[in-house]
Amino acid sequence: MRVVIQRVSEAKCVVDQQITGSIGPGLLVLLGIEDDDTQEDLEWLAGKIVNMRIFGDENGLMNKALADIDGDILLISQFTLFAATKKGNRPGFTRAARPDKAIPLYEEMMRKLSALLQKPVQAGIFGADMKISLLNDGPVTILMDTRNKE
């Protein structure tokens, strides 16, 4: 699994002119899933996302996690995070998991993040043409890949 995590003041997802998810301060999480991903990858990544201390404390240092600021998560499926770009100019996406594998893991990630945060996670719609708007705070943008856990 790969994620792009952006610390935001606000973010929202719109599908067919309807808001599917909207948050105030928190994290916009773009999640890419590949065929080899496992429940272990999901558990590790969810824990890292929720506990990552990237919010400012009273001294302006990044010492607070989501729970410390009562922050929210907007989770968006993003298969293009596995784009292969070495050959030609059209990216290939063969590493991205097919929907039959990716949808259950995406839905499980929503449940796991909600359980860890102890509140609902906002989300987009898997496979939809989503319009994401955000106000990046910092900017703080972090890339993580479960293949680089150690």
Percent of the chain exceeding pLDDT 90 equals 85
Angle between helix 39-51 and helix 99-117 axes, rounded to 10 deg = 40
Sequence spans of domains, the chain: 2-148
Look at residue 145 in the predicted model and tell me its pLDDT: 95
pLDDT digits 0-9 by tens, 30-45: 999 999 999 999 999 9
Positions annotated as catalytic residues are: 80
Q: Does domain 2-148 have CATH number 3.50.80.10?
A: yes
pLDDT digits (tens, 9 = 90+) for 131-140: 999 999 999 9
User: What pLDDT does residue 87 have?
Assistant: 86
Q: What is the mean pLDDT of residues 105-132?
A: 97
Contact predicate 19/124, CB 8 Å: no
**In this predicted structure, what is the pLDDT of residue 86?**
85
Residue 150 has pLDDT above 80, yes or no: no
Query: Which pLDDT value is given to residue 48?
Result: 97
pLDDT tens readout for residues 50-74: 999 999 999 989 999 999 999 999 9
pLDDT band at 92 (very low <50, low <70, confident <90, very high): confident
The tokens describing 67, both together, are 């729970």
Cα separation, 88 vs 113, whole angstroms: 37
pLDDT at 109: 98
